[in-house]
Structure 1
């Protein structure tokens, strides 16, 4: 693709399934946690795909993972796979994605977590809509001031600080680089499924997940 064809790369990291949703381990089996991982991932990708028709730019989705991924799903949804081999943290995995995006001449890189509880198309559209400006940064905090959505223009020397209080840390990074910072407070992007208490507030239940035919994307 030419530079003009590559506009936004949306990266969704998926950790090793042996450790997926580990904080839910006290109430769910590994198989149940893998089902939730696939359910939430399918929900997010489906909504992003539904939005593509509204944009006059190319928006691609990349999974950052070392897990096995369904070839049929990759082909049907035109998903890019970026190996996170060698990375020891989420921040390091996103650096790998940023390097890939820069090499492929994307103009912007977006991070979205795979475990958003119920992201709406309206909120996703607000966050990822073009145009993408030079020296731009968009960010949406989680409920506890982590980072649940981040978009940066390329190229730049942005240093990722995922982890506790990462929202404020990323704001400081953006200020240091003199990026145009746009803070989005989008309700459906602030809530993710991470701990047992989150399941009590979720719109779905394990019984619900077991009854629907969610594609086995990651295995």
Structure 2
């Protein structure tokens, strides 16, 4: 059975992102990196998976405008409440809108890969079920929930373990899917060094090189055209 799935990308203000890289990068470079990673993610879904509905959750006007320029829908927060709150907000919205599943992807994956993402989306998923693709540090770099709001989101330290435990406490079928490229996000100086190393080699994934990526007009795609405001903090 083909399931209607919403891809959700929570994005915090670029100026506040990547604080753990402060020993290596100044504020402007951290913001530049955060924007670059976000644009790579938006471009990936626009160019490689245009059939997928994409929703960006953000409290930032600049990011909302950027997301719309890439063809994504936008769900607005009045202030940033963190990854878990953004995921819950999106799950509640997508359930009301009739989506069967929600795929949550961070905006800072260095090497998104179409084969890996389609492997995840095509994996058997009974109702209810949870699919987790863990990060290399045991965080959660992809979370596919069916239905979208089937469990509370618990992003943070060792969140893949937290999501696994939450699913099993509720008797929900849960699977871990280890996808090498999807496991690599950019949070620490060591991650940044790995990105620099990847930039020096030819990559078969979608754009490992850290170079400027200008925004452009979005390709026509099946997108849930909407902008919604949510109550203030």
Query: TM-score, normalization: structure 1?
Result: 0.82
Counterpart of 2:44 in structure 1 is 47
Q: How far did 1:132 drift?
A: 5.3
8 Å CA contact retained: 2:139, 2:160? yes
Of 196, 199, 207, 1:204 maps to 199
2:22 matches 1:25 = yes
How far, CA to CA, are the matches of 1:31 and 1:129 in structure 2? 39
Q: How does 1:7-156 map to 2 (within 5 A)?
A: 7-52=4-49, 59-67=52-60, 68-69=62-63, 71=65, 74-75=68-69, 77-86=70-79, 88-129=81-122, 133-154=126-147, 156=149
Aligned-pair Cα RMSD in Å: 2.7
Q: Per residue, is there more helix in 1 or in 2?
A: 1
Q: How far did 1:92 drift?
A: 1.2
Please give the secondary structure, in 2, of the residue aligned with 1:42.
Answer: helix
Q: How far did 1:155 drift?
A: 5.4
Q: For the structure 1 residues 145 and 44, does the alpha-carbon distance in structure 2 shift closer, same or farther, using more than 3 Å as the test?
A: same
Q: For the structure 1 residues 52 and 131, does the alpha-carbon distance in structure 2 shift closer, same or farther, using more than 3 Å as the test?
A: farther
2:181 matches 1:184 = no
Please give the secondary structure, in 2, of the residue aligned with 1:110.
Answer: strand
Q: For the structure 1 residues 34 and 86, does the alpha-carbon distance in structure 2 shift closer, same or farther, using more than 3 Å as the test?
A: closer
Please give the secondary structure, in 2, of the residue aligned with 1:185.
Answer: coil
Aligned residues: 206
Q: Give structure 2 stretches of 5+ with no counterpart.
A: 201-208, 217-233
Query: TM-score, normalization: structure 2?
Result: 0.78
Q: How far did 1:65 drift?
A: 0.6
How far, CA to CA, are the matches of 1:130 and 1:49 in structure 2? 22
1:32-85 alpha-carbon deviations (Å, 9 max, x no partner): 2222112212222222234436xxxx521111111123647515x331111233
1:162-206 alpha-carbon deviations (Å, 9 max, x no partner): 11111111011111222222211000011111111211111238x
8 Å CA contact retained: 2:12, 2:80? no
Counterpart of 2:214 in structure 1 is 214
8 Å CA contact retained: 1:135, 1:156? no
